[in-house]
Amino acid sequence: SVVYFALDEASGNRAALIGGLTLTDNNTVGSTTGILSNAANFVAANSESLSHANDAAFSIGDGDFTLRVWVNLSAIQTNNDFGIITMDNYPTAGREWHLLFVVPATVRFNMQNSGGADIVAVSQTMGASAWHHVVVTRSGADISVYVDAGTPATGTIAGTPNTGAATFRVGTLGTGTSYYMNGAVDEIAIVKGLAWDAAQVAYDYNAGAGRRYPD
């Protein structure tokens, strides 16, 4: 299955191009120039985010998958980490996975088990104040995190991923007030049942110009 959000809307809720789902606008998420057309623009001080109640399309579970997102961080907060795309109700119960930015220059992907404990954590270097192409894949038990189609950072899942527990959010980790992001997110793809290889990641990156899935 595929769910794809182009995030081209100037304001309000954001509808999927593929997958039939709509993200709810929380606290008036803005818009800015994206990697392709417009992008959603978030201000941490306003607690802005997009969200959708738990849905099987976002619960990547125990099979192969690919997550792809473009992100441009306009400022770095003083907190240690903040959400980019997440399925995580932190700090309350209900955790599945999250893609975070960790101060000062790291993007990190984690998955959790039903007890809320991490079963994999993979970190990759990523700077701020520029558009970056981030892809996370799972093939078997192996997780790879690519930034701008470079050599991936890798890790191995040790445990059973949690599913059906969390809200999908863009621009924040859970409901904690310190975990909102400043910056823009564009072109979110969640592909279940398929792990892109390095050639597919490079094709999608398109030398920094991007492509709209599944072009």
According to the model, what pLDDT value does residue 117 have?
Answer: 96
- What does the pLDDT read at residue 119? 97
* pLDDT confidence of residue 108: 97
Question: pLDDT tens across 134-162, in order?
Answer: 999 999 999 999 999 999 999 999 999 99
In which band, very low, low, confident or very high, does the pLDDT at 103 lie, cut at 50, 70 and 90? confident
Residue 80 has pLDDT above 80, yes or no: no
Lowest-confidence segment of 26-35, 61-70, 122-131 by average pLDDT: 122-131
Q: Which two tokens stand for residue 165?
A: 């527990």
Q: Percent of the chain at pLDDT above 90?
A: 88
Q: Which residues pair with 184 in a beta bridge?
A: 41, 72
Digit-coded pLDDT (tens) for 5-53:
999 999 999 999 999 999 999 999 999 999 999 999 999 999 999 999 9
Cα–chain center distance at 209 = 19
Q: CA-CA distances (angstroms) from residue 41 to 59, 74, 165, 184?
A: 24, 9, 27, 4
Instruction: Enumerate residues 6+ apart whose C-beta is below 8 A from 69.
Output: 84, 85, 99, 134, 185, 186, 187, 188, 189
79 pLDDT more than 80: no
E strand intervals along 43-131: 49-52, 65-73, 81-88, 95-102, 106-112, 118-125
3-state secondary structure of 193: coil
Sequence-separated (6 or more) residues with CB below 8 Å from residue 17 = 4, 5, 6, 212
So what's the pLDDT on residue 74? 82
